[in-house]
Amino acid sequence: MKLKNKINLSSAVMFIVLLIIIVLTIYLSFSAMAKNREIDRVYEEVKQATTGIHQSDASVPVQQLLRAYVPVDGLLQVIKPDGSQGAGAAADTAQLSELRSLPITYYGKEEKKIITNNGISFAFVSLPIIWLNGEIVDLQVMVSLHSTDEMLHILKLLLISVTFLATIPALISSRLLGNVITRPITSMIHTMKEIQNSGHFKRLPLPKKTNDELYQMGDAFNKMIDLLEVNYQKQGEFISNASHELKTPLTVIESYATLLRRRGKERPEVFDESVHAILSETERMRDLTNNLLLLAKHDEQWQVHNVKIELSPLIQDIAHSFRQAYHRQIQIHIEDHSVVEADYQRLKQLIYIFMDNARKYSDDIIELRLYTKENLAFLEIMDFGIGIPDTDLEKIFDRFYRVDKARERKTGGFGLGLSLAKELAEAMNIKLQIESREGYGTTARILFNTTNSQ
The DSSP result for 46-67, as a single string, is: HHHHHHHHHHS-TTS-HHHHHH
**Candidate CATH numbers 3.30.70.100, 3.90.79.10, 3.40.50.970, 3.30.565.10; the one for domain 303-453:** 3.30.565.10
Give the CA count within 13 Å in the CB-facing half-sphere of 309: 21
Q: How far apart are CA 217 and CA 271, in angstroms?
A: 66
Q: How far apart are CA 69 and CA 72, in angstroms?
A: 9
pLDDT in tens, 147-178: 888 898 899 999 999 888 888 888 888 788 77
Q: How far apart are CA 304 and CA 298, in angstroms?
A: 12
What does the DSSP 8-state code read for residue 71? P
Q: Are strands 330-334 and 366-373 parallel, antiparallel or unpaired?
A: parallel
At position 291, the amino acid (one-letter code) is N
Q: How far apart are CA 293 and CA 274, in angstroms?
A: 28
Report how far apart, in Å, the C-alpha atoms of 332 and of each of 15, 360, 387, 415, 447 are.
Answer: 81, 19, 21, 27, 17
**How many helices, marked H, and strands, marked E, lie in the chain?**
11, 12
Bin 199: left if φ > 0, else alpha if -120 < ψ < 50, else beta. Answer: left
The residues, ordered by sequence, that sit 6+ positions from 326 with a Cβ below 8 Å of its Cβ are 359
In this structure, are residues 425 and 302 in contact, taking their beta carbons and an 8 Å threshold?
no
Low-confidence ranges of the chain (pLDDT < 50): 298-300, 405-411, 453-454
In this structure, are residues 139 and 122 in contact, taking their beta carbons and an 8 Å threshold?
no
| 3-class secondary structure, 276 | helix
Q: How far apart are CA 291 and CA 302, in angstroms?
A: 13
What does the radius of gyration of the chain's CA atoms come to, in whole angstroms?
Answer: 51
What pLDDT, on a 0 to 100 scale, did the predictor assign at position 404? Answer: 52
At position 125, the amino acid (one-letter code) is V
Bin 419: left if φ > 0, else alpha if -120 < ψ < 50, else beta. Answer: alpha
What pLDDT, on a 0 to 100 scale, did the predictor assign at position 380? Answer: 94
Q: How far apart are CA 153 and CA 146, in angstroms?
A: 10
Report how far apart, in Å, the C-alpha atoms of 153 and of each of 28, 30, 42, 150, 160 are.
Answer: 12, 12, 22, 5, 11
What pLDDT, on a 0 to 100 scale, did the predictor assign at position 370? Answer: 93
Q: In the chain, what are the domain boundaries?
A: 3-153, 213-295, 303-453
The reply to whether 303-453 shares the fold of 3-153 is no
Q: How far apart are CA 133 and CA 373, in angstroms?
A: 119
In this structure, are residues 432 and 396 in contact, taking their beta carbons and an 8 Å threshold?
no
Q: E strand or H helix at 75, and its extent?
A: strand 74-79
CATH code of 3-153, in short, is 3.30.450
What pLDDT, on a 0 to 100 scale, did the predictor assign at position 406? Answer: 45
What is the architecture of the domain spanning 213-295?
Answer: Orthogonal Bundle (1.10)
What does the DSSP 8-state code read for residue 70? P
Strands (DSSP E) contained in 157-280 are none
